[in-house]
Amino acid sequence: MTPELKEQMRSDISLFAEKIRAFEAGEVDKKAYKGFSGGFGSYAQRNGGNMLRLRMAGGRLTKERLAFLADSIETYSIDRLKLTTCQTIQFHNLNADATIDLMEKALEVGIVTRGGGGDFPRNTMASPLSGIGQEEYFDVLPWAEGAADYLLTLVRDIHMPRKLKVAFSSGPDNITHATFRDLGFVARRDGTFDVYCAGGLGPNPRLGVKVAEKISPADIIACIDAMISVFTQFGNYENRAKARTRYLQDTLGADGLKAEFSKALSSALQTSPKLDVHPEPVTKTSEETISGPRILPQKQPGLYTVSYHPAGGNLPADKPRQLYDTIRDMPQTECRISPDETLYIINLTASEAEKVLAVTSDSAVTPFQHSVSCIGASICQQGVRDSQALLASMLEAVEEAGLPDNALPTVHISGCPSSCGTQQIGTLGFQGGVKKVDGAVQPAYTLLLNGNELQGSEAFGETIGTILQASIPEFIVELGRTAAASGLDFSAWLEKHEDDFRSLASKYLV
Ligand code: SF4
């Protein structure tokens, strides 16, 4: 970010300050405030207080940013933090003064909250193990960061029909969902990108359309300009419910979309700047070795990543300080936020990894404990169900039942159809809603089965039916017991016994 842009962003904060104070004084209604505050990365919470979303391209949480988190938590007595599926961190329960102060202080460490919500380019995503993953085709992070910097230059002036989510994937695990984002750059073995667009979760989810192949990384900005040109030209400015890029597949058709993107790209290639960036080499070496369930060997021999998944993506308020104090003097070590709400601590020698394991011993271990959930309706104004409460009740029931580690999969839960918990791509997904039973409206969730994010096998979960919220812990425990009784792990059991799954689920459907 240039110093000029940073200064502009800083001076704009006074506009936000005026608005949040007017909102607190009751001079602005909730809807009008949401429309404004989202553009600054903040929303008013359902029962008071404010959320501030800290965007970090590629989920890159450097030591400097980690220190910012730790200091902020202590200075403002922040009691709730949330890792999100868009690789950001949310501070919750802030008063107006803290929200304004933190917005400004975050800028100093390269954390921009502007455009964190609203109809703007959102946090640019990248595979969290970029540069270190053994399976990656190449390190996409420098291009994701370059793209993010470019997108920030557009935030103040651009007027798009809706938000634009841009993602980079460095390998087939596709954990950033680059093949089904508004705009996705999918790394190829040959060092170029295939480009997908007009995909996305939420209501009426769609896989993306491949609109370009073998794009040189230098031409990323041309692709972004082409996408914005198509979106602003053909997007729906009249009806917000039909305004996301995925509806371009309906209005233009896949072939029409490809043709329009191609036309816009030819023109952008003549005018858009080239992106000239390079990966940062990892120079650290070690010959020590370590292994364990939360240890991932990196492509750099002798270096390791530790994975840390706090339950429900709720990062304990004391964790940033503990982590910072632990890694402060470790060369090239930093953290990465994964879209599945896991935090990776990277570039560790074996003895450094031991220390990080010790301060993250509260991590999830089993696949089920790694379940993903949005913040839910106790905080989110748009929410219908408290997804975090559902997850907590399921974790407790599974713990009490003493099920084997692999008896259940990772589940994905959202408190409404907006998909912040990525329910459509989980082996099992739950989407919050309501169900009328005997004339009374009851809290309920739609159950989804067999979603898949892997590149080449992408699928959105099939809707199985609706289960009352109160029955879900019992359903999950019975499911785990049944799978465990077969002697197989959950995925092997499901593959062989899908009919049994359906008949078990049907007992709980309403
Ligand atoms: S999925 Fe719905 S309830 Fe959950 S955070 Fe998103 S908008 Fe809120």
The reply to whether 117 falls in a domain is: no
Q: Residue 432 C-alpha to ligand 1 middle, in angstroms?
A: 9
Which ligand 1 atom lies nearest to the CA of residue 419?
A: 1
- Choose which residue among 387, 420, 424, 425 to substitute to test ligand 1 binding: the one with the highest number of ligand atoms within 8 A of its C-beta: 420
The reply to whether 180 falls in a domain is: yes
Same domain, 352 and 372: no
Same domain, 146 and 193: yes
Same domain, 387 and 342: no
The reply to whether 290 falls in a domain is: no
CATH code of 491's domain: 3.30.413.10
pLDDT (tens digit, 9 = 90+) per residue, 149-202?
999 999 888 899 999 999 999 999 999 999 999 999 999 999 999 999 999 999
State the pTM of this model.
Answer: 0.96
Point out the domain boundary residue: 359, 379, 397. Answer: 359
- Looking at residue 116, its pLDDT comes to 83
The reply to whether 309 falls in a domain is: yes
Which range of residues forms the domain containing residue 30? 3-108
Q: What's the CA gap between 492 and 487, in Å, rounded?
A: 10
Q: Which residue ranges in the chain fall short of pLDDT 70?
A: none
The reply to whether 288 falls in a domain is: no
The reply to whether 54 falls in a domain is: yes
The reply to whether 334 falls in a domain is: yes
The reply to whether 289 falls in a domain is: no
374 lines ligand 1 (CB under 6 A): yes
128 lines ligand 1 (CB under 6 A): no
pLDDT (tens digit, 9 = 90+) per residue, 425-434?
999 999 999 9
455: helix, coil or strand? coil
86 lines ligand 1 (CB under 6 A): no
Same domain, 31 and 13: yes
The count of domains in the chain is 4
Q: Can you spell out the DSSP letters for 225-280? A: HHHHHHHHHHS-SS-GGG-SGGGHHHHTHHHHHHHHHHHHHHHHHHHSPP----PP
